[in-house]
């Protein structure tokens, strides 16, 4: 029996997530946030592959929030998108200058940059009539975010595969919820996708808490290989009456 490629496995898991969480409906206009990294590339090509055989119609466009025009990484991305006939839009914004000007002590520059990018995405999507925004958060992101909130914020809070954005206009979907990070890397390699960084001067800033959680999970997996899947499953199996906020006072 021939081995199924990682790309096909990822596409299958994205299809399962779409079905399990009703992420895509007929006539949706989906904007895929393409950073140039392995995760967003894998998401884009998975959605395109599923679109070819879906019993419904939906539209897909990639959007890239670029720090400046005419950079090398944009050329590589545009070349691949053009060769495969994928519609896309580059939005230019000098995010580095904004972050540098407004960054305060104790604020992670990558988180700040992410918020700015998200705001640009929301505005573009609502202005151009895209009703959903697809983000490339994978299984590891879901698990790590849950543990970060549990350990450092004292809250049981994670990511959702589908939610209404804070602006009340956009719907965010995360179809890679069942896909492990290592498999987006393999898919990108298999498909020869031009994985590039965003060129941001803050891209190497280290989130020490997230790094610690990553290392913790890596060590825990040595003893419990299925631990990430178990933690992810726990997010949909919540027993409310066994939590503090459901204690009643007589």
pLDDT digits (tens, 9 = 90+) for 100-149: 666 667 666 666 777 788 888 999 999 999 999 999 999 999 999 999 99
**Model confidence pLDDT, tens digit, residues 192-228:** 999 987 655 555 555 788 899 999 999 999 999 999 9
| Stretch 171-191: mean pLDDT | 97
Name the pLDDT band for 29 (thresholds 50, 70, 90): very high
Domain membership flag for residue 46 = yes
Q: Which of 46-50, 163-167, 182-186, 210-214 has the lowest mean pLDDT?
A: 163-167
Residue 192: other Cβ atoms inside 10 A: 8
Residue 1 lies in a domain: no
Tokens of 154: 């004292």
Inside any domain, residue 148:
yes
On whether residue 39 sits in a domain, the answer given is: yes
pTM of the model: 0.90
Residue 30 domain-assigned?
A: yes
Full domain range(s) for residue 44 = 6-246
Residue 1 confidence (pLDDT) above 50: no
3-state secondary structure the chain: CCCCCHHHHHHHHHHHHHHHHCCCCCCEEEEEECCCCHHHHHHHHHHHHHHHHCCCCEEEEEEEEECCCCCHHHHHHHHHHHHCCCCEEEEECCHHHHHHHHCCCCCCHHHHHHHHHHHHHHHHHHHHCCCEEECCCCHHHHHHHHHHHHHHHCCCCCCCCEEECCCCCCEEECCCCCCCHHHHHHHHHHCCCCCCCCCCCCCCCCCHHHHHHHHHHHHHHHHCCCHHHHHHHHCCCCCHHHCHHHCCCC
- pLDDT for res 230: 97
Find the CATH number of the domain harbouring 227.
3.40.50.620
Give residue for tokens 């305060």. Answer: 104
What's residue 223's pLDDT? 95
Report the number of distinct structural domains present in the chain. 1
Please, what is the average pLDDT of the chain?
A: 89
């Amino acid at each position: 029996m021939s081995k199924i490629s990682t790309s096909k496995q990822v596409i299958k898991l994205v299809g399962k997530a779409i079905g399990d969480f009703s992420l895509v409906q007929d006539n949706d206009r989906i904007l895929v946030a393409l950073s140039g990294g392995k995760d967003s590339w894998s998401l884009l090509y998975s959605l395109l592959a599923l679109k070819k055989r879906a019993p419904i119609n939906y539209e897909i466009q990639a959007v890239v929030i670029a720090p400046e025009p005419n950079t090398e990484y944009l050329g590589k991305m545009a070349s691949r998108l053009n060769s495969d006939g994928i519609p896309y839009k580059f939005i230019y914004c000098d995010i580095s200058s904004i972050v540098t000007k407004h960054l305060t002590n104790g604020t992670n520059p990558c988180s700040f940059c992410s918020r700015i990018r998200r705001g640009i995405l929301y505005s573009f999507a609502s202005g151009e009539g895209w009703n959903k925004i697809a983000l490339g958060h994978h299984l590891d992101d879901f698990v790590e975010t849950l543990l970060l909130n549990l350990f450092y914020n004292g809250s049981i809070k994670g990511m959702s595969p589908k939610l209404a954005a804070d602006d009340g206009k956009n719907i965010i979907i995360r179809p890679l919820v069942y896909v492990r990070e290592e498999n987006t890397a393999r898919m990108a390699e298999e498909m020869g996708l031009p994985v590039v960084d965003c060129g941001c001067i803050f891209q190497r800033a280290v989130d020490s808490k997230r790094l610690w959680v990553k290392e913790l999970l890596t060590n825990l997996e040595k003893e419990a290989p299925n631990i990430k899947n178990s933690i992810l499953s726990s997010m949909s199996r919540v027993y409310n009456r066994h939590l503090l906020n459901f204690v009643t006072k007589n």
